[in-house]
Structure 1
Amino acid sequence: MEGHPAQVLPELHQNFLIPSTEPPSSPVHFQPLPPAMTRFRPCIDLHAGQVKQIVGGTLDSESAALKTNFVSHLPPAHFSKLYRDSELAGAHVIMLGPGNTEAAREALEAWPGGLQVGGGITDQNAQEWIDAGAEKVIITSYLFPEGKFSQERLDAVLRNLGNDRSKLVIDLSCRKTGEQSWHVAMNKWQKITDMEVNQDSIRQLEPYCSEFLIHAADNEGLQKGIDEELVKRLAEWCTIPVTYAGGARHLEDLDQVKSISNGKVDLTIGSALDCFGGSGVKFDDCVAWNKRQ
């Protein structure tokens, strides 16, 4: 880590019961963790090899309608080091489309074992990304061939990781499909899948992963507020750590998520952060907020 002393990462929380790393076919054992507390979780979104903040609903590499809130002139490693030095555990690096492999590797090299990585993860490369320095891999689209969930593919990814659930995050980023219903969205959040995000699907997937990442794609990048109903439901449904992203615009959103989720849901803030060109939230204030918890 370029001369920095080895750091002991703060625990990612929570009051949740974390499954052991035994294969899913074995009895699931749990170990109690301390009471939950919401945390700010940072991100590094990569598009065309650059760190960007994008309006999620427009994310289509073939479309001229892509709306970008921010393009950084700084390399991905800058943000990795920023998060490392701020002791922000659980940050995620997301490759949005092709052309981001080298940028993602650069981010991981700056903080080996400190970042999660997602985007294009399959049963063929999951362990390769762990070997490249990722703490965990995040998977979505590969699990939904033709928009239909595949248990076989999930099993294959886990086998590639040596049946170690602690290395896997399942991304259930979704779009709203009803007053109180959401469906997983894949392929840069443009295609709706057959999986509704609800208690049944959460319970189905929990034995295979260590946490969930969920972007509310309809809110992503708009800075118009979080999907409160989704956050409430995630707190009710999930018994493992879960991070929500989408629409956060004020530091107070951390307090709001903490309140409505009873501390069970973490929050990612992106476009509103000053380090991403935003004016709604100071990065340093988020770091300080975490330390107060």
Structure 2
Amino acid sequence: MTAFRPCIDLHQGQVKQIVGGSLNDSGAETNFVSSHNAAYYARLYQQQGLTGGHVIALGPNNQQQVLEALAAYPNGMQFGGGVNLENASSYLEAGASQIIVTSYLFENGDFSWSRLEKIKAEVGADKLVLDLSCRKTQNGWMIATDRWQTITNMQVNQRTIAELESHCAEFLIHAADVEGLQAGIDSDLVSLLGNCCTLPTTYAGGARSLADLDLVKSLSNGKVDLTIGSALDIFGGSGVTLEDCVRWNQQP
């Protein structure tokens, strides 16, 4: 059944909430910069009994914050951001419950099945979350890599999801075009995921209130979870409180 899942987004060594579509090599449009470190949020989520959340490193200079967060909530959060064959196991050893992979799986915009097989053999499908974060084009939702800067030629659709499901434990999908805007979720994308996904799936992007949890539950028939970022009070937002989300998760 649909649940709220927490997140920690790191950019240049700080916990931030950014506008996803603005992220590039020179910076990003920022909604919020926290005075707390990543470990603070990890401990907060642990205290609230929140599971299945993720720590995402957006670009360089985040390693220390990542390791401190994973140590603060051992086996409590997934990690993604620059994960590849060489370092995947080290993040699991550092305390990640699972590793999230996107960019490593693409070479020059083409999906690499051999790379998927290699990293799956290294960590196990049960420890692998595939990030299908995407941007909408005239050809549909296309997976975007490299901090959502590079649009690949792989579409998020029923065929892609069906082909990938036997290789991982979960999917994570940021709708990069609405990420951080608090202008509402991409309802069509959530509906697609609800129709196609049989694995646990988390959607992020545009959520602005507690009502969006109800909407995602309805659109996906309870099959898709929701991450709320910029609208959340702990990230400077006024749309919804963490306490409300925890209470929503606890309802029958």
| TM-score category (smaller protein) | over 0.9
1:39 aligns with 2:3: yes
Give me the whole-angstrom Cα distance separating, in 1, the residues matched to 2:171 and 2:154. Answer: 15
Look up the equivalent residue of 1:209 and give its one-letter code.
C
Q: Is the 8 A contact 1:245 1:268 kept in 2?
A: yes
Runs of 4+ residues over 2 Å off in structure 1: none
Kindly report which structure 2 residues correspond to 1:80-229, keeping only aligned pairs within 5 A, or say none.
80-161=42-123, 164-178=124-138, 181-229=140-188
Q: Deviations over 1:191-250 (max 9, x none)?
A: 100100001110111111000000000000000000000000001111101000000001
Deviation at 1:62, TM superposition (A): 2.5
Q: Distance in 2 between matches of 1:269 and 1:205?
A: 25
Q: What's the CA shift string for 1:8-61, capped at 9, x where partnerless?
A: xxxxxxxxxxxxxxxxxxxxxxxxxxxxx1000010000011100000001113
Aligned positions, number: 252
Distance in 2 of aligned mates of 1:68 and 1:210: 31
Q: Which amino acid aligns with 1:197?
A: V
Q: Which residue of 2 aligns with 1:253?
A: 212
Give me the whole-angstrom Cα distance separating, in 1, the residues matched to 2:108 and 2:34: 34
SS at match of 1:226: coil
Verify: 1:50 aligned to 2:14, yes or no: yes
Secondary structure in 2 aligned to 1:207?
helix
TM-score by length of 2: 0.98
TM-score, structure 1 as length reference: 0.85
Query: Does structure 2 conserve the Cα–Cα contact (< 8 Å) formed by 1:123 and 1:158?
Result: no
Aligned to 1:266: 225
User: Which amino acid in 1 is paired with 2:229?
Assistant: G
Q: Please list every run of 5 or more consecutive structure 1 residues that lacks an aligned counterpart in the other structure.
A: 1-36
* Structure 2 residue aligned with 1:59: 23
- 3-state SS of the aligned residue for 2:182? coil
Measured after TM superposition, the shift of residue 158 of structure 1 is: 1.1
> Per-residue CA shift, 1:101-130, capped at 9, x if unaligned?
110000001000101000000011111110
AA aligned opposite 2:135: R
Kindly, what percent of the aligned residue pairs are identical? Answer: 58
Q: Secondary structure at the match of 2:108?
A: helix
1:106-163 Cα shifts (integer Å, max 9, x gaps): 00010001010000000111111101110000000111111110001111111221xx
